[in-house]
């Protein structure tokens, strides 16, 4: 299970893409709670290639276990 959020910080030009993902191992089902892995990417500009790209700047696991990544976004990150 996976979902994304595109976030712009107030009073800043920075834009972030946040990915939340819950992996299923062989023994688990969609109904089982597990840690959500968050990856944060910052939108950056490459002057040499004249293009925008997302650069991964952080990665971390949730503090609790969840079934739904949308609930994890709300409870862990407030978005």
Task: Quick: pLDDT tens for 11-65.
Answer: 988 999 999 999 877 777 778 899 999 999 999 999 999 999 999 999 999 999 9
Query: Quick one: pLDDT at residue 24?
Result: 78
**Angle, alpha carbons 8-43-70 (nearest 5°):** 55
pTM for the predicted model, two decimal places? 0.87
Q: Which residues pair with 37 in a beta bridge?
A: 21, 61
How far, in whole angstroms, is CA 9 from its chain's centroid?
A: 15
């Amino acid at each position: 299970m996976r979902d994304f959020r595109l976030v712009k910080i107030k009073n800043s030009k920075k834009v972030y893409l946040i990915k939340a993902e819950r992996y299923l191992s062989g023994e688990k089902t969609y109904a089982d709670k597990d840690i959500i892995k968050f990856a944060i990417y910052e939108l950056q500009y490459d002057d040499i290639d004249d293009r925008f790209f997302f650069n991964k700047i952080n990665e971390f696991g949730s503090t609790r276990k969840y079934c739904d990544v949308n609930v994890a976004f709300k409870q862990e990150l407030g978005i």
